[in-house]
Structure 1
């Protein structure tokens, strides 16, 4: 498991200087013209998953920053070349004791869904609602000791613009919390995720239903 108590160290050339650090360096990355645009490419086998005697991988290319107290973090995520099951891009929240990912992920049937993985320390997966394609807006928020992951799809009707609940969770040892964006390619050679509108706020999203 990733122990974030050994805090991520900034890597030279990180796309957003100052607060942001590479937890694990990507195979490739490019930053867009605004500070909220980023493309990350995960190399072969990249993942953060812990299932003893089945699969244990601690090599997640992620750009993260530390959050103290309540917060929200959101981004529009598009998986650009996810051709294999479990190819994904999304948001990750970590403490020294564990992590939670919320992803836009390729399913075993070849479709797309919102998937959450809580590794505390062993990984517990849940597949949420299906998506019309490899894209969604994702959000994680913390209020007190409670965290939540939410999503919304491209707006087609007024109701589609509302945040939809995916998962609520707590994290042990949450005095030091890191969160950010990632791409993964557990079973493929590579996977690229594009993040647009990446932003954060110290104001949590209070209505998570």
Structure 2
């Protein structure tokens, strides 16, 4: 796929910022304390590069696979966080003390998937509104990183990896709590969505058109 233009990248960043604003309201209600969700970085990469990153993580991670449907065979999206930060996020959602969750049980899985649903759903909703292209998030599943690699390869590499392109958006979730002192924590999540090249080009053209 050709290089993304500056205008297309700017439009994608604007979508990510708008979706972060939308998602932070829902996350604040879910966690029951005010939070801020900020877009930190947006980039486009070839799937070969993404597969390398996923296959060789520097630390244990949790990942939620979120299939995308809509206009044709879309692809998949994945929300990735370090295992430690995923545990802490689940603790916040479940109103548990920090460090109290150590195993991925059913309740913790549900909390992480709900968070992924909110972030991924907000992004796709804003992207659909901006481009006029239907993008629908399907039922999520949570898995180990190797399972996610296998799933993305199975779903998107039926032909060749050159038929797909990956979009990565890094979000920072900032939570400020006050007891005797005020503390701000940041949880980093990586939202990646993979699309067939032909559809990715269509999406980028629609993004560029929306900015004019």
Fold shared by both chains (TM-score > 0.5) = no
Q: Kindly indicate which of the two structures has a greater share of residues assigned to strand.
A: 1
Q: Kindly indicate which of the two structures has a greater share of residues assigned to helix.
A: 2
TM-score, scaled to structure 2: 0.31
- Decide which structure has the larger Cα Rg and report it: 2
TM-score, scaled to structure 1: 0.32
